[in-house]
Each structure stands twice: as structure tokens, then as C-alpha cells.
Structure 1
Amino acid sequence: ECLEPFWNDVYGSGGRAAAALSGWCDDLKLVTYRSSALADGLENLSAIYGFPIEGPEVRDAVSFRYIHSLDEPRIAPRPDSISVHPPIEVSGDVVLRFGMLEGDARVTARRAVYDPQSAFDPRPFHENGSTADELALILNAFEARRLTNETEPERMVEALIEKQDASIVVLKLGGHGAIVATRTSRTRVPAYRSDTVWKLGAGDVFSAAFTKFWACDGLEPTEAADLASRSVSVYASTRSLPIPAKKELAALDLSPVTPSSGRVYIAAPFFTLADLWLVEEIRQRLLDMGVGVFSPLHDVGLGTAQEVALRDLEGLDQADVVLAVLSGSDPGTIFEVGYAVAKGKPVICLAQNMRDEDAKMPEGSGGLIVSDLVTAIYHSIWALA
């Protein structure tokens, strides 16, 4: 469940990946722990996308709740109190395996793709007896660090290939794209921009698309990873599944994300608890992604007009991009937007309850108006390039 933008449905990583692959892979099925509490949701998922759902029935359901799609999930029940069930035995020509909180999957496959999906304790593929003639690992830097005790991306992929007996490693590095490594090569594929940004399930879609293009279709790993990255861009913009066909993805005129440095100025009111929470959230998410931030609340503080105005404007002068919260039409924020436009700085405006009339000047002067927090954050970062 996500509060903003609102979304509430039954998927899980496996369900979303199966939905992404529906219609593209022969004999597609989802094997998972089937919670009786989610029976209606699973039945609906199967009916919409046309694949069977198999696996042992269990009583409890695990839910993930987010305030926004870049948020850390609130998991219920707590991970340390979730009942762990015996492993599910899965065999097939091609198997995409995700890490699970309720248990594990013991896999036998010709080609396996493994996404540990664990912020807590990613486990090696072979640890539970899983085997594959060819194994592709897809993971982020945090998971790779936990599995290898290495801190540099190149050292991570080397250790994963050697110690995890992987034929392919796809190490996802956020805005820096992904490293695609084999025993004989290292290549990079970019992340791609999208008009809007919906993060929930983006990793699931990447893993599913890579599975289709590499494991099912036999494409080279780098081409498969690039098509997977393109699939994520489409999903982030539309939230629609299944993924598009290879020809359609390859023809898309997508802009690669170009990592760069710079500073984002947060123009926003901070008079109420809700205001304070939003400013704090924007600042922390930007800092988490390695972006420089100037926040008048944090870097100047409270004071009289004479004490804060010039210091705020100095921060604006030194910033490269302005992220403005226009909800509520705060006069101070509107002034900062106008000042930034006059200085020729890119302005990204988060406007959720603003009248069209009130948005005319920011939009007409070149500002980008968006309606959700995560899209505003990402477009602010991309505007630094």
C-alpha cells in the first residue's frame, strides 16, 4: 500500500514480475507462499494476467506500507515475528527467484536469475541447495556489500562471480546505471529518465525483464540489461504491466540519467508540523542520494526578516536547482521561485492542491509542475545535469 500517490493491491515481487512477463514467456507460473488472507487478491492477479499461482497455503500475510514510493516500508508483521516456512521446491528451464520473508525457494534450473531482495540479510543463491547451469545475480550495492564485504563496485562484482559461482552479475547503482559483469567482460548500462517516477516494484520489473531477454530469449547480458532498464523507465511513467516488446523498447527515445554534482535549494513553507515533515523528508531523500542541499530551515533557521532574508537569497544564488513546494501558495516560496527564474535556475514545483490560475506564472516561466513528491525529487536531481 502507498499513500501518495495512492495505491493498494496484492502483488509482491514475484507477482509483479509474473505480471511483467505475462504474455511473453511460455508456461509462466508464479510459485509462492499463498496466504489465505490474500486469497481474493491472488485470484484477481491470476485472472487479470493469465498465469497460475502455485505453492503451499499459509495463514498469515505480509504487508508493506509506504507513505510515498521512495519511502522505507512499514512491514507487518515485524520481520522478526514473521513465521518462516519450509522451502518451496521449484524446478524449471528458466526460474526467476526472489528472496522472501516467509521462507525460501530451493531452485533447480538451466538458467536462473536471483534477486535477493533483502535489506536485512541477503542470502547466497546456493546456500539452500539451489542449483543452475547458468546463474545471473541482480542486486543493488547494499546487497552486494553484505554478500562480499567489499565496498568498491568493481571488487563487488569480482567477488560475486568468484565466490557465488555466478555467470553474470548485474550490479544496480541507482542513477549511475548498472554494471553488467561476466567472467570475461565488464560493461555499463544507463538508467533512463521518465516523465513521472513510481519506484515501488521498479527492481522487480528490472529483474523480470532481464530474465525474459537473457534467460528466455538468449540475448547478450548487456543488451538484456539495457532493455530491462528501458522497461523500468516505462513502468515508472505508467505503472502498467506487462512490459513492452523488445522492438518497442529499443525504439523509445529515452534520455539516460547523467550523474552530476550540484546543490538543490528547497523553497518551502515550514510553519506547521506537516510543512516541517515534508521539508525534512525532501532534504533527507536528496542527501541519501548524494545530492548537495540548501534548506533555509536547516541552514539558516528561524529569525526576523532582516536576519534570514539575505542569507536565504545567498543560498539561492549558490544553488543550481530549486525544488519548490507550492501547495498552499506561501508568499515566501512564490518569491523564491520568481527570484530563481530571474537568475535562470531550473525550478521544479511540487503542487498538489494549487489552483490552475495560481500555477500560471511558475509554469509559464519555464518551471516544471509535478503533483507527487518522488517525481519532484528525481526531476530536481536530473535538472543538475
Structure 2
Amino acid sequence: MRSLSVVGGIYRERCLQPTWDAVLGSAGRAAQALGTVKASRKRLHAYMSDRARSEVELLAELADFELVPTDLPFLVLFDYAHTLGDPVISPPIGLMGQRLPLAVKDDVVLRYGMLEGDAVVAANIAVYDPQSAFGAAAFTANGSSAKRLAVVLNRLELRSITGEEDPRAGADWLFRNDGAEVVVLKMGALGARVITPVGAWEIPLYRSERVWKLGSGDVFSATFAAMWALEDMAPDDAADIASRATAWYCGHRALPTPDAATLATMPFEQVRPGTGRIYLAAPFFDLGQRWLVEESRRALLQAGAQVFSPIHEVGPGAAEVVAPADLAGIEDCDVLLAIVNGMDPGTVFEAGYAIRKGIPVVALAENSREEDLKMFVGSGATVTSDFATAIYQAVWRLPR
């Protein structure tokens, strides 16, 4: 049985909606995810402030990890408005400085990128998740070494490290220059792609009823590491179990996930990405409403959808100009996302028009009464009180 070390950030995470406040970060969450995994020894390496120590000590004890802390004079804080938003990080990255790197040597090492320092790894088997869209470094750039290496990263990180846009070209760069054996490319709504020197496999994204995105990438990497490095699964099978575990985590907001055998038998529905345009129906008459429109539009575009937003495409104007243009926009769309907080009459009308035209409707209703939503529910609309879930449900309804 192999021994395992996890090294990465321990950060405090707060979210306004849904409410969340926990000391986790990539390393803490990975320890939770790997709490039931069998290894001869499990160690958690991290920079750590006194403010975080008691919480992390309890986390490590519950997950059966030996804690190996290195003093840090501050606790890094990530503040999110919602789980699809960009966090406000404090102290600011430019003021953190860089600590001396952590030295981690073990049979298996799961290494995450960190803001406040780095980790130099010596492992028989390593899994590396750089977790940096800009300025990401190759695994071996700091002197790390591994007899077998898997790199798990997204497109921005791949481009940052290799300079390549094409996944195969980027993977080939990592095979040649970083000594990687496997590259797992995380592609959001498109699932993941496992690439080796001899082949490539598409790994599906699995649907969850609700979508909790905070830390989902941490869970994917941790589960992949457990399956590939500890259980000796083929990389495509390991990535499939990791995708299933991530879907379970997104739906339940809890860790650890069920074991691999249970996950493999669960009837997860594969998400087959569609294409098309989403009509964004929402009031935009004050700063809060306009902010939510901007966040929704940005999230939809990042998920790969085309968006028709009346305030952006038509703008304010006379009723005889705006109404026909907006209705034409609805008819030219494949899905309508309605933000019905406050039950704005125009938004409700647009949703009803779409339903009458047979266009799928997803409604975000954070503060609406059940009675107000009766016509939405009764006419087949998807109704949710969670922002991230509404975005994903709308994207998932696009035609294939």
C-alpha cells in the first residue's frame, strides 16, 4: 500500500449566496475528499496561520491525515458573491510575498498551486494541478521530480504553461518538457479530455440537480489522484470516476463522496453540450438588478452560450420600439433564462411568451413565494433559487 501526501493552499472561503464560510482551500478540500481513501500513511502539507490551525487540525484528524504545517503570518481569504464569480482575495496577491518552498517527498504526491509559496516535490507518482490561469508553471520548473506524472489543468493553464492553444500540442509539450505521462484537460461544460502519448479519451460531464461550483476542480483532481495513483486505474477510467465524484459533490455540497464502486453504479445523466442562444429576461432598473444581469450574461458567455440580453441588444426606449425587438429576440432564441426576483411584470410576460412558443424556460427565483411560481412550475419551467444552478440548467437546455 502506498503512502500519500497532499500539498496546497489552506484558505478561508466565504460566499454571499449561497451562504458559505469555511477554512478549506485546495489542500483542505482534497483531504476531505480523500478521507476514506486507503493509504499506508496520509500527510497534509500547507502554509498555515494560527487563525486556521484549530479548524485544520480537526479536518485532518477526521480525514485521517497527519498535519505538516509551516507557519504563515496571515490567513488568505477568498470572498465570493456567488460560486461562479471571481473572488476578492486578501491580502492582495501583490502584498503576500513568497515563502520558502515546502519540500515534500512521498510515494504519491498531489500538488496544487499556491498563492503564498510553492512546493518542491520528489515522488514516485505525482498529480499536479497548477491552479493558476496566469503565470502557471510547469511541474518541473521549480525542481520537482516524479517517476510518473499526471498533469490536471484547464485550457488557460495549458496555454500559460505551454504557449499552445491546441490540446494535443499542449499535451505533447508537457510530455516532452515536463515528463508527463498523462494530461487531463478540464473543459467545463464540455467535460474533460484525457491525453496520453498514444491516445485521447473524452470524459463526460455529469448532471447534478443543484450546482455548487466552489472547489469542484479540487475534488476532481483529488479523486483522479486517488484512482490513478493509489488504485492503479487506467487514466480514462480514473477521470470518469473523478467526473462522477465532482457531480456528486456539486449536487450535495459535502465530502467525502461515495466510493468508486458506488459512484460507478449511480445513474448519473451525461451532459451532452448543445449550442444556441439564451434570452436573458430580467429587470435592470437599479444597480442591484443591473449587476445581476451583468453577472448572468458573463457566466452564460463563459459557459459557451450565445446571449441575447435586451439591455445590451436593444437598450431602453419607447414601448413600440422595445417590445417588438424583445419579442423578436425571444423567438430567435433556444432557451429563456428569467430572473424573477420581485416578479417584474416585463420579465414574467417574456417568460410566458417563451412558454407559449414552446421555448424552454429556466427561472431564477431567490425570494419568490410558492404561489407566485405556480404558473411557471405548472407549465414546465425549471425553477431554482440558486444562481449557479440557473446558469447551468439554462446552458444544459440548449439543443444538441
TM range (shorter): over 0.9
Q: Do 2:364 and 2:384's aligned partners in 1 also have CA atoms closer than 8 Å?
A: yes
Pairwise CA distance, 1:89: 1.1
In structure 2, what is the equivalent of residue 222 of structure 1? Answer: 236
> What's the counterpart of residue 360 of structure 1?
374
Separation of aligned partners in 1, 2:66 and 2:19: 28
* Equivalent residue runs for 1:65-214 within 5 Å: 65-214=79-228
- Name 2:20's counterpart in structure 1: 7
1:105-158, Cα deviation, whole Å (9 max, x unpaired): 111111100000112311111122211110000000000001111111221112
Number of the residue aligned with 1:233: 247
Distance 2:345 2:333 in 1: 20
Once the two structures are superposed, residues 67-101 of structure 1 have per-residue CA deviations (whole angstroms, 9 ceiling, x without a partner) of: 10011111111111113111111111111001111
RMSD: 1.1
Residue among 308, 313, 316 paired with 2:330: 316
Take 1:285 and 1:172, find their aligned partners in 2: how far apart are those partners?
Answer: 17
1:372 to 2:372 alignment: no
Quote the offset at 1:291 in angstroms: 1.0
Q: Aligned AA for 2:33?
A: A
Deviations 1:247-302 (A, max 9, x none): 11111111222122100001111111111111111111112222111111111111
Inter-partner Cα distance in structure 2 for 1:344 and 1:361: 15
- The answer for unaligned runs of 5 or more in structure 1 is none
Q: Which residue of 1 aligns with 2:37?
A: 24
Task: Read off the aligned partner of 1:219 and give its amino acid letter.
Answer: M
Task: Specify the code of the residue in structure 2 equivalent to 1:7.
Answer: W
Contact 2:34 2:223 in 1 (8 A): yes
Preserved CA contact (<8 Å) 2:101 2:120: yes
How much has 1:40 moved relative to structure 2?
2.7
CA distance in 2: counterparts of 1:96 and 1:180, whole angstroms: 18
Answer yes or no: is the 8 Å Cα contact 2:130–2:157 preserved in 1.
Answer: yes
**How far has the Cα of 1:197 moved from its partner?**
0.8
Q: Would you say the 8 A contact 1:167–1:182 is kept in 2? A: yes
Distance 2:38 2:95 in 1: 36
TM-score (norm 2): 0.94
1:328 aligned residue (329, 342, 345): 342
Identity percentage of aligned residues: 47
- Is the contact between residue 37 and residue 59 of structure 1 (CA under 8 Å) also seen in structure 2? no
AA in 1 matched with 2:189: G
Task: Tell me the distance in 2 between the aligned counterparts of 1:373 and 1:13.
Answer: 23
Paired residue for 2:268? 254
1:50 correspondence with 2:51: no
Find the counterpart in structure 1 of residue 6 from structure 2.
none
Q: SS where residue 42 of structure 2 aligns? A: coil
AA at the equivalent of 2:222: A
**One-letter amino acid of the structure 1 residue matched with residue 331 of structure 2:** D
Contact 1:269 1:332 in 2 (8 A): yes
SS of corresponding position for 1:90: strand
Cα deviation for residue 49 of structure 1 reads 3.0
What SS class does the counterpart of residue 355 from structure 1 fall into? coil
Q: Secondary structure at the match of 1:171?
A: strand
* Separation of aligned partners in 2, 1:154 and 1:263: 29
The secondary structure found in structure 2 opposite 1:111 is strand
Distance 1:157 1:311 in 2: 46
Q: 288-297 or 222-231: which moved more? A: 288-297
Alpha-carbon distance in structure 2 between the residues aligned to 1:79 and 1:71: 18
